[in-house]
Chain A
Amino acid sequence: MSQDSAPLKQTALNAIHRAQGAKMVDFGGWDMPVQYSGLVEEHHAVRRAVGLFDVSHMGEIDIRGPQALHLVEHISSNWAQKLNIGQIHYSGLLYETGGFVDDILVHKVADDHFFICINAGNQEKDFAHILAHNTFDATVELSSERYTQIAIQGPRALETLQKLTKTRLAEIKYYWFVDGEVTGTPARIARTGYTGEDGFEIYFAPSESARIWRALMVAGEEFGVKPAGLGARNTLRLEAKMALYGHEIDASISPLEADLAWMVKFDKPDFVGRAALASQQDQLTRRLVGFEMTGRGIGRDGYEVQIGGAKAGWVTSGSPSPTLSAAGTPKNIGLCYLPVQNAAVGTEFEILVRNQPVSAVVVPTPFYKRSKG
């Protein structure tokens, strides 16, 4: 991942991460915390109480203008016209081939304003892609530098954040947002996340980053809040079976293959990638499935998947599951691509773990689903 000579980009919270003892890594050209106290401990803090993530490396694009909706409908596979003001949906930014440019969160701010959250490493590419398709009366702004983004995640996330805002958080539904304030600083408060837990993602001016991060640490102290790194973020999202660009999805993978058909709305007006997906619909050859290791080993990203000794697919993500292992029996889970005829739950197959075939079985997903109170 390291890019020759180009210095790593830093978020406004970089010095705080270092002061909190974080181990830093190069993540898509960003100097980011991979863990603080320990991955498993941070993972459990999010499942059981509350964790804070600096996700300011994520990018933002603002689309405005009389035909903002037309542009969003054209470049995005989900149906933006169905969004209410203040509502959010997950969608695909696709190539004509049906493969992913990126996976995105589309926020409807106003009839003529959409706010799109995109992946860190894809910002320039996404921006260029959208610009290239902008034949509408709309402006496209890459506005990432105007935002710090912090994710507050876990069953105590609401109580933690509520101490710092007058915005009534309980009234924000899942996948909705409010433009409110946090400690008096204007903030976009979205009830979204990448952990499988309840929680919020807040967007605000970078100048206020350190103050708000510290305030959140204090507000969450009574619940046992922990800063959490990219390591825990990865195991949390994997248990919830949320896709990670560059792993489950990329330019060569379509939403239909990635088990994300629900984000493709064939009934809406034409969009980039629609024709390719329509023809792929009835002849899918491979599909993303969840697996659990039945042999001793962990099937990791890039490992070959075999059926009857022949190559049949590849692992996109794999890890011990901290949540499923908490009862005492270690469980190793993952996601992989398999031929559609071998993708049924219960199918047994092998993963080459350092050249040794190790048994695995297709299991239902998500691996973890929170109980809604």
Chain B
Amino acid sequence: MYPQNYSYTKEHEWVSVAGDIGTIGITHHAQKELGDIVYVDLPKPGAAITAHATFGSVESVKAVSDIYSPVSGEVLEVNSLLATKPEKLNEDPHGEAWLVRVKLASPNELKGLMTAADYQQYIGE
């Protein structure tokens, strides 16, 4: 369920790194807690985001929740799929429904994140 090569936050986001590019999303646990997602608000390419700071929001039928960034960097790409098909976030949060790709400013930040095993223990699954 939770890919081994991703790193996780206590706020239920994940980041997957290839070179100096990080792909960020929310976890399966997060989408399940949020329920039916209807809007995803994300920054524009070029925006700077900061680790542990909010950079967007996910709105479900029930409520709005902030998304916190696992890492700092510059947004290179935003997943345009989510503008028209926000429900994809419920269906494939670890894959097709990634949120943004960023150029990592401080790869060292990854060390402070949880492994898949740690995260699963954290959420009690």
Contacts and interface: CB of A to CB of B under 8 A. Distances in A.
Given A23-B33, A38-B35, A320-B38, A298 B62 contact: no
B36 interface: yes
Interface residues of A, number: 18
A354 B61 CA distance: 16
Interface in B53-71: 57, 59, 61-64
Given A40-B61, A300-B64, A231 B39 contact: no
Given A298-B59, A322-B61, A354-B64, A38 B36 contact: yes
Contact of A298 (B33, B35, B36, B38): B38
A319 B33 contact: no
Contacts of B36: 38-40, 320
Interface string A31-56: 00011001110000000000000000
A235 interface: yes
* Size category of the binding interface on chain B: 10 to 19
Contacts of A35: 35
Nearest to B87: A40
- Chain B interface mostly: mixed
Contacts of B35: 35, 38-40, 231
A369 interface: no
A235 B64 CA distance: 16
B39 A296 contact: yes
Interface of B: 33, 35-36, 38-39, 57, 59, 61-64
Interface in A79-110: none
Contacts of A319: 61-62
A231 B62 contact: yes
A297 B35 CA distance: 17
A298 B39 CA distance: 9
Given A23-B33, A354-B57, A39 B38 contact: no
Contacts of A40: 35-36, 61
A330 B61 contact: no
A38 B59 CA distance: 15
Contacts of A300: 63-64
A298 B58 CA distance: 12
Contacts of A297: 39
A225 B61 CA distance: 22
Nearest to B60: A39
Interface in A229-271: 231, 235
A332 B39 CA distance: 11
10 contacts: A38-B36, A39-B36, A39-B62, A231-B61, A231-B62, A298-B39, A300-B64, A320-B38, A320-B61, A332-B38
Contacts of A298: 38-39, 59, 64
Contacts of B39: 296-298
A332 B64 CA distance: 14
Interface in A312-347: 319-320, 322, 330, 332
A315 to B, nearest CB: 13
B59 to A, nearest CB: 6
Contacts of A34: 62
Nearest to B35: A39
A39 B62 CA distance: 8
B57 A235 contact: no
Contacts of A322: 61
Contacts of A235: 61
Contacts of B59: 298
A236 to B, nearest CB: 12
Contacts of A231: 35, 61-62
Given A39-B61, A296-B39, A319-B62, 8 more contacts: A34-B62, A40-B35, A231-B35, A297-B39, A298-B64, A300-B63, A319-B61, A320-B61
Contacts of B61: 39-40, 231, 235, 319-320, 322
Nearest to A43: B61
